[in-house]
Amino acid sequence: MSLKKLIALIPARSGSERIKNKNLIKINGKTLLKISIENAVKSKIFEKIIVSTDSKKYARLSKSYGAEVPFLRPKRFSGSTSPDYDWVSYTLNKLNLVNLGFTHFFILRPTNPFRTYKTILKAWNIFKKNPKCESLRAIEDCKQHPYKMWIKKKQFIKPLFNKTFLKQPAYNTQFKTLPKIYIQNASLEISKLNVLKKYKSITGKKIIPFKTERKEGFDINYVEDVILAKKINKKNK
């Protein structure tokens, strides 16, 4: 079996719009940024743990938590609409990882405070058992179905997907008869390094699922999520 060299990428831009300095929110006395870095370190599978940030403050803190910040992320890759591919490819190319023998990268988003090192190891073991896959994506059950979603156009609405099931529009079909669906979450992502060049994508085409359990897929996006995360943490103490 060929040797695999892994790098963890932790994105931490400073311009969060819904919650100011979201990555510095504290859960159980630790910032979200510190929680992600510490669990990456505890997993003991990464040769490098890199924080991608546009903030000097975040960079300083990340280094004190045990990560590397070899350079700051350019502002053009740090906006609220910047695709993941842009900052990931910029970071990995600048680090020259292919020539250094790295084979896989993980994305560990700080907005998930309940992804432990055990979650990281569990996902990596699943990935290793599927040699033909190009990437792994964390998913969970979805309570809403896209076939029952609508787009508003002026005074009327139209179905998001114009599908038919059992000879009737999907939006009129019983939920149980529709295909089982899942939604991605913020737990983690794993990809082979070569997918970036091959597909201009961070996932490629052969994607395997990592179905998270309970709070493993928790994601902080709103103030309400922070309150809930603190309640969950307090309950599990």
Domain regions of the chain by residue span: 6-138+184-235, 146-177
| The residue type at 160 | L
- Are 20 and 93 within 8 A, CB to CB? no
Domain spanning 6-138+184-235: CATH superfamily: Spore Coat Polysaccharide Biosynthesis Protein SpsA; Chain A (3.90.550.10)
Q: What three-state secondary structure class fits 195? A: helix
Backbone angles phi, psi at 75, to 5 degrees: -60, -30
Is the confidence at residue 163, as pLDDT, over 90?
Answer: no
Q: How does DSSP classify residue 29? A: T
* pLDDT-derived band at 3, boundaries 50, 70, 90: low
Place of tokens 């190319």: 93
E strand map for 128-195? 135-141, 150-153, 156-159, 164-165, 168-169, 182-192
Per-residue b or e along 108-133, where b marks 16 or more CB atoms closer than 10 Å to that residue's CB = bbbbbbbbbeebbebbbebbeeeeeb
Q: What three-state secondary structure class fits 30? A: strand
- Are 78 and 54 within 8 A, CB to CB? yes
Q: What three-state secondary structure class fits 18? A: coil
Place of tokens 């910029």: 90
User: What is the reported pLDDT for 27?
Assistant: 94
**Residue range 92-136, pLDDT digits in tens:** 999 998 889 999 999 999 999 999 999 999 999 999 999 999 999
**Residue range 172-182, pLDDT digits in tens:** 988 888 889 99
Is the confidence at residue 1, as pLDDT, over 70?
Answer: no
- Rounded distance between C-alpha atoms, residue 133 and residue 127, angstroms: 8
Q: How does DSSP classify residue 152? A: E
User: What is the reported pLDDT for 17?
Assistant: 77
